[in-house]
Amino acid sequence: MTPAPALARGKIFRGWWIAAVSVAGLSFSVGTMLAYTFGIFAKPLAMQLHASRGSIALAVSFVDLILTFASPGAGRLVDRYGARGVIVTSLLALSACLVALAFLQPPVWHLYALYAAAGLLGVATTPVTYSRVIANWFDQRRGLALGIANAGIGVGAFITPPLAQYLIDRGGLRLAYLGLMGCSLAIALPAVWFFLRATPEECGLHIDNAPAPPPRKGKSADGMTVAEALRTPTFWLLCFIFFCVAACVNGAVAHLAPLLTDAGVSARSAALAASIFGAMTIAGRVANGYLVDRFFAPRVIAVLFSGGALAIVLLWINPRSSVFLVPALFGLAGGAEGDVMPYLISRYFGMRSMAELFGCAFGVYTLGNAVARYLFGLGFDKYGSYNVPLTCALVAIVLAIIACFGLGRYRTSA
């Protein structure tokens, strides 16, 4: 195997600044502004629209269902045309949806329509687009770079729940949605438009800041096509793992605030728990990225997912006794999807169709979100508590942990 090119010494590689831009963009993505704030908006929306929690939970499930089908298309656009224009257009469209939500009125199907539109139009604000950019800039340190970039999801999950709660306390739902929209336009949009570059070649550089482009040996060095990857058992095993983890972790986190307040925890403490989840997601993504550059990634995520299983057990036993430990464990487990998933896609299938393949896998991941968020709400409406959904989630995440040990060796490596 041809040795990897030595990294150039000197000033900071511009790829790390691209990772920082990705942090700013992902902090105000469709997921952070609509999915991770769902627990904060759930009760006020239910009161304003005169609907049950299960009905309200269905709205954020529509976001995930739309992302399931739209993510591969967003990935294909980025593979073919680059990321900046696609992401900027998506940020503007998502902001328009937030404005419409600020003036939301009954019936509840208006909420469904606007959340679905946000999922479709905001799909390019997700890790699908940014992860392809990062993978273009890095190979030897790809895991760490992906972890830093996708920490933006954690930053958003840390910032947006208390921000939404503060704005709701001050001016209701309208001020909260308009405030989130303003943050997106003031921070994410200019960062992406002025500073994001899809490849190092656009700046006269090479991957990993190498002094010359790394050698390639024909088409095989570019990796698999989408059709070739879809015929492998590895791809579907990855999809199964991340479907289960999404369903368990994000399904529980979406209902964490109402679950805790039902157990007697104050609304502010519940919002703080959501922020802790965001903070630990940041730590989890960076740590995951560092570890997968050095150790076999499936073993790393198996350990982290075990922490998610423990969090579910603690919620089932006594939510009040573990208000801050549970979101911390969920954050470490949930932090694996944004960086480890694209890392695994690039290592098992190469870069040829990386964004589209990640879009397919990310679509399965968001399908898990959609199913679980709705079923958690439905389970509460039917049984009066979250115990049954939590039990099902525990079984699913244990199956995902076992499946991690079925993944074989990488097909490509740094």
pLDDT digits (tens, 9 = 90+) for 337-380: 667 889 999 999 988 888 899 999 988 988 887 788 778 888 88
Report the 10 Å Cβ neighbour count for 331: 30
Q: What is the pLDDT of residue 219?
A: 42
Residue closest to 244 by CA, chosen among 404, 354, 385, 377: 404
Q: Per the domain annotation, does 319 fall within a domain?
A: yes
Residue 6: CB atoms within 10 A of its CB come to 11
Backbone region of residue 209 per phi and psi (left: phi > 0; alpha: psi in -120 to 50; beta: other values): left
Q: Pick the closest to residue 120 from 62, 160, 50 (CA basis).
A: 62
- In whole angstroms, give the CA distance from residue 113 to residue 29: 18
Question: CB within 8 A of 321, min separation 6: which ones?
Answer: 314
Domain that holds residue 164: 14-207+226-404
Q: Where residue 221 falls among pLDDT bands split at 50, 70, 90? A: very low
Sign of dihedral through CA atoms 60, 78, 334, 186? negative
Domain-located, residue 409: no
Per residue in 323-347, pLDDT tens?
888 988 998 887 666 678 899 999 9
| Residue 137 covered by a domain | yes
Residue 320 in any domain: the answer is: yes
Residue 385 within a domain = yes
Residue 194 lies in a domain: yes
- Tell me whether residue 411 is in a domain: no
pLDDT in tens, 245-272: 988 888 888 788 888 888 888 877 887 8
Which of 199-203, 303-307, 320-324 has the lowest average pLDDT?
320-324
pTM: 0.80
* Cα–Cα dist 222/201, whole Å: 17
* CATH, residue 21: 1.20.1250.20
What pLDDT, in 10s, does the model give residues 135-152?
999 988 999 999 999 888
Asked if residue 326 belongs to a domain, the reply is: yes
The whole-number pLDDT of residue 4 equals: 44
**CA atoms of 58 and 374, how far apart (whole Å):** 5
CB-CB neighbours of 403 under 10 Å: 18
Q: What total of structural domains would you count in the chain?
A: 1
Whether 1 shows a pLDDT value over 60: the answer reads no
Average pLDDT over residues 211-217: 62
pLDDT higher than 80, residue 3: no
pLDDT number for residue 238? 95
Higher pLDDT, 42 or 92: 92
Nearest-angstrom CA–CA distance, 42 and 254: 9
Instruction: Confirm if 350 and 411 have CB atoms less than 8 A apart.
Output: yes
CA 391 – CA 218 distance, rounded (Å): 50
Phi, psi at 256, each rounded to 5°: -65, -45
- pLDDT tens-place string over residues 19-33: 999 999 999 999 899
Q: Quote the pLDDT of residue 176.
A: 94
Helix (H) / strand (E) element for 245: namely helix 233-245
Which residue in 66, 166, 96, 21 sits closest to 366, CA to CA? 66
Is 216 in a helix, a strand, or coil? coil
For residue 156, the tally of other CB atoms under 10 A from its CB is 31
Residues sharing a CB contact under 8 Å with residue 12, sequence separation 6 or more, in sequence order:
none
